[in-house]
Amino acid sequence: MIVSPALASANNGNWHTAARWSRMLRKHCRTAIATQWQGEPCDLLIALHARRSAASIEAFARARPGKPLVVVLTGTDLYRDIRGDAAAQRSLQLASQLVVLQDQGVQELAPALRAKCHVIYQSAPRLRPISPPQRVLRVVQVAHLRDEKDPATYLRAAHRLRQRGDLRFELIGDALDADLGAAARQTQASCPYFHWLGGLPRSATRQHIRRAHVLVSTSRMEGGAHVILEAAQSGTAVLASRIPGNVGMLGRDHMGYFDLGDDAQLAAALAHARDEAPYLARLRAQTLARAPLFEPAEEQRSLLQLIRTALEEPP
């Protein structure tokens, strides 16, 4: 049983992870996905989100002592909730196995918990790269508009560059915060080369990433941003806020980091990418070098190894 706090209608990271893992396990296990565990028989429970799935984690641990209980930690878990939320902290203790989605996540755990922690990078099928038009730099951000994703930094950077006709900005994501939605509409009205496309299906979003020169991630916290791996698997360079979750995806030596919330740095990096072809080429090469981590076969291998390990552990 995979417990996800969000299902298909949310179109968010938790749902996509649950659905992808269910598909990967289909030939090896009988699987089901639910928003909470309600006593259904299962040999192993995978719970996405230590805090939001805490009730299911507690109930399963009490009702099925000794059964494997895997807890997958999200960005808000790692970089906020486990630091002060009692329910999230309890989930860490009850789990027989913990999963983080990029290698820096392990460092957020107490040393006593690290032995039961596994790193599983998420994945996406590789798309054949295409060559975007060279006369303009195409830039895309993919994130629902909420504070954790900090889309305001992207909006401010676009506004700084509003006079440059050789840059095109796209923003894909629903307005989960009304104020941020208003800011996106205002930016679109004042910046002739900025377009907010709202929420799009995953397949369409991937094509927008594929057609871009640069994907931007401005997030305040990330467990392992799926859009970063989709960019790497599409031949698209990444500029990202310097936070642990992004460093865990792109590596410490990635040259495309900017300070969290610093729209001036981001704008300067985008202008540099447009004006200096060698810089954009190096940035793209560094991003693509991480792509082997994000192959579906590797994620499936890691997931099956986790399950075998969990089932073989004595109660």
129 domain-assigned: no
Give the single-character DSSP code of 178. H
- Of 249, 182, 210, nearest to 126 by C-alpha is 210
Query: Which residues are paired to 241 by β-bridges?
Result: 258
Q: What's the pLDDT at 314?
A: 55
Are 72 and 90 members of one domain? yes
Q: What's the pLDDT at 93?
A: 97
Mapped onto helix, strand or coil, the DSSP state of residue 240 is strand
How far apart (Å, rounded) are the C-alpha atoms in residues 30 and 9? 23
Domain count, the chain: 2
Q: What's the pLDDT at 313?
A: 65
Are 179 and 205 members of one domain? yes
Are 281 and 306 members of one domain? no
CATH number at residue 212: 3.40.50.2000
How far apart (Å, rounded) are the C-alpha atoms in residues 150 and 156? 11
How far apart (Å, rounded) are the C-alpha atoms in residues 191 and 23? 42
Are 117 and 18 members of one domain? yes
Tokens found for residue 150: 């900090």
The CA–CA distances, whole Å, from 40 to 64, 213, 308 equal: 11, 47, 21
Are 9 and 150 members of one domain? no
Tokens found for residue 260: 């969290």
For residue 210, what are the domain limits? Answer: 137-294
Q: What's the pLDDT at 232?
A: 98
Are 109 and 189 members of one domain? no
Q: What's the pLDDT at 225?
A: 93
64 domain-assigned: yes
Q: What's the pLDDT at 45?
A: 97
Tokens found for residue 153: 């930094």
Residues in the chain, overall count: 315
Counting as low any pLDDT under 70, the low residues of the chain are 7-12, 313-315
